[in-house]
Amino acid sequence: MEILNYAFMQRALLAAVLVGITAPAIGIYLVQRRQALMGDGIGHVAMTGVGLGFLLSWSPVWMATVVSVLGAVLMELIRWYGKTRGDIALAMLFYGGMAGGVMFINLAPGGSNANLTSYLFGSLSTVSESDVTAICLLAAFVVLVTVGLRRQLFAVSQDEEFARVTGLPVRALNLLTAVTAAVTVTVAMRVVGLLLVSALMVVPVAAAQQLTRSFAATFAIAVAIGVSVTIGGTVTSYYQDVPPGATIVLLTIAAFIALSVLAAPLARRRARALAAAQPTADPAECKIPATRGAADEVGV
C-alpha cells in the first residue's frame, strides 16, 4: 500500500491502533460510573501540560501526562470532599486548564496558538518517533490496568458500597481509574485531539451496548469499533486531506447509528423468542372457579 511507504503515516497508523484500543478500554468503566465526560475535563487540563512542554522545551506528551494525572487526582479529591461546591471547583479546574495552556504556549519562545491546534484536534504529520515511544509506553500501562484489574474495576464501577463491603480498596481503585483515564487522554491527543478524545472513550462503548449487555462482549466489541474507526479515520484523512480527529469521531458516531438501527430488529426478535419460550396459561376448562374454591375451603 502506498500509504505505508511514508514513515509519518506508519507512525500515525501505529498511534491510531493504540488509541483505538486504549480509549474504549478505559471508557467502558467511565460509562459504568456515569462519568462519560471525565475525559473531556481531563483534556482541558492537559492543555496546560502541552503549553508547559513548549515553555520548558520538554516533551509536550510527557508534560501533558504529568499535568493530566495531577488534574485527574484533584478531580477525584473534589468528588470525594467537594460536596455542594464541587461543581464550581471542577469548572474552575477545567477552564483554568484551557487558559493555562493558551497562556504558556504563547509565552514559549516562538510559540503561538497554531502550535496548540494539532494537540487540540489531532495531526497526522506531527506524530514524531518520540511521540510514538511515549504513546506505546503509556498504552501498555492502560491495557495492563484495564485488562489485569477488570474484575475489581468493574465491581467498583457498578456499586461502590458493595465493593467496599467485599473488602476492595475502593478509593485506590477510583484513583487508578482516574489516572488511567488521564494517561489515555495523552495517548490519544496526537491522533484525535484533546477536545475530541472523550467521544472515542464513550461512543464505541455506547455502540457496543446496542448489541450486548455482557461486560466481556461489550469490552471486546467496543475495542474492535475503536480500532476500526481510528484506522479508517486515519486512512481517510490521508487520502481526502481532512482533519483526522473530526473524521474519526464522525465515523464513530456513524458506527453508533448503524448498530442502533441493527439492534432494533434483533431486540424484537429476542423478545418474541423469549415470549415463545414462556409456559402458556392453563386452558379455561381446567381452571377452578374462584367461588367454588372458596366454598370448598369452608366445607360447603
On average, the pLDDT of the chain sits at: 83
| Cβ neighbours of residue 274 closer than 8 Å, sequence gap 6 or more | none
Region 44-53: what's the mean pLDDT?
A: 90
Nearest to 228 by CA among 57, 67, 73, 23: 23
pLDDT tens-place string over residues 187-232: 888 888 888 888 999 999 999 998 887 889 999 999 999 999 999 9
Work out whether the CA dihedral 85, 89, 92, 98 comes out positive or negative: negative
Cα 259 → chain centroid? 18
Is 298 a residue whose pLDDT tops 70? no
Is 66 a residue whose pLDDT tops 90? yes
Residue type, 48: T
What proportion of the chain, given as a percentage, has pLDDT over 70? 86
Nearest to 13 by CA among 255, 256, 238, 254: 238
CA–CA distances in Å: residue 183 to residues 3, 138, 177: 29, 6, 10
Pair 84, 158: CB distance under 8 Å: no
pLDDT tens-place string over residues 16-41: 999 999 999 999 999 988 887 788 88
Is 82 a residue whose pLDDT tops 70? no
Pair 56, 261: CB distance under 8 Å: no
- State the distance between the two ends of the chain, measured CA to CA, in whole angstroms: 91
Cell numbers 374462584: residue: 290
120 vs 179: CA distance, rounded Å = 20
Is 293 a residue whose pLDDT tops 70? no
| Cβ neighbours of residue 149 closer than 8 Å, sequence gap 6 or more | 173, 176
Tally of CB atoms within 10 A around 163:
20
pLDDT at 111: 67
Element (H, E) at 267: helix 244-277
Cell numbers 500509504: residue: 3
Q: What is the dihedral of CA 156, 161, 167, 172, to 10 degrees?
A: 50
| Cβ neighbours of residue 260 closer than 8 Å, sequence gap 6 or more | 207, 210
Cell numbers 487520502: residue: 239
Confidence of residue 296 (pLDDT cuts 50, 70, 90): very low
Q: Is 298 exposed, middle or buried (0-12, 13-18, 19+ CB in 10 A)?
A: exposed
Q: What are phi and psi of 17, to 5 degrees?
A: -60, -45
Confidence of residue 75 (pLDDT cuts 50, 70, 90): confident
pLDDT tens-place string over residues 145-168: 999 998 999 999 888 888 888 889
Backbone torsion region of residue 135, taken as left when φ is above 0, otherwise alpha when ψ lies between -120 and 50, otherwise beta: alpha
Q: What angle do CA 146, 249, 34 make, to 5 degrees?
A: 45
Residue type, 19: V
Q: What angle do CA 249, 253, 257 make, to 5 degrees?
A: 170
